[in-house]
Amino acid sequence: HKFVDDIEVREDGGTPAFLQTIRIALCINLKEEMGTANIMRREEELLDTVWSRLGPIENLHILAAEHKHRLGVVSFYIDGLHYNIGVKMLNDKFGIQTRGGCSCAGTYGHYLLNLDSHTSSEISQMIDKGDCSTRPGWIRMSVHPTMTNAELNEILDGIIALAQNYNSWMKDYTVDYATNSVKHHNETSSDNLKDKMDNLLEMSLT
């Protein structure tokens, strides 16, 4: 029990799930204190800001944009930008965490992106040949009722900057369309990082 000083780190790997239970309890307490009506109202306020700021961006398209009354989840794509590249840039440039892909909704995604069966078949053939560059998808962001207006606007500033500047930022990235992976030129490879961590661990044990 003295192996790690930080109590949260020390207990995180233990069984039973003490920390997980405490975290769930805190989440439930927060929900009860806020009240579902207030949560929904706050999400509507945040989404109104999303619509007003992202709506006018010509090369950015919000999926199912006609459905304004929704949970705090917004999916979008930017003309000419692969979703995984967009997610990577948002992370690297602004520390914004989003998700790229089809959100486990491939069939619905065909409907949202207006992909007919012929186009779908062509995409499948390209994927079978090892080219995932046209695999359908989008960038998904979420808003949370505890977000401040300033936090949301900072996220939206980053997304708008992405839509406006991604072409010039592309020179800093390498994309492997066979795996849909994106890497910054200055990024340490995961293999090198693993080797360094293994060396550090070995040094600490000797």
Phi then psi dihedrals of residue 74, to 5 deg: -130, 125
Name the residue among 73, 59, 17, 94 with its Cα closest to residue 167.
59
The 3-class SS string of 184-201 reads: ECCCCCHHHHHHHHHHHH
pLDDT at 3: 62
For tokens 């795996």, the residue is 179
pLDDT at 157: 98
CB 73 within 8 A of CB 140: yes
Quote the CA–CA distance of 4 and 103 in Å, as a whole number: 37
Residues with Cβ within 8 Å of residue 201, at least 6 apart in sequence: none
Joined together, the tokens standing for residue 122 give 């062509």
102-113 pLDDT per residue, tens: 887 878 888 888
- Residue spans of the chain under pLDDT 70: 1-4, 12-15, 188-197, 201, 203-206
Domain at 35-205, CATH class: alpha beta
Quote the CA–CA distance of 155 and 96 in Å, as a whole number: 7
47-87 pLDDT per residue, tens: 999 999 999 999 999 999 999 999 999 999 999 999 999 99
pLDDT at 135: 83
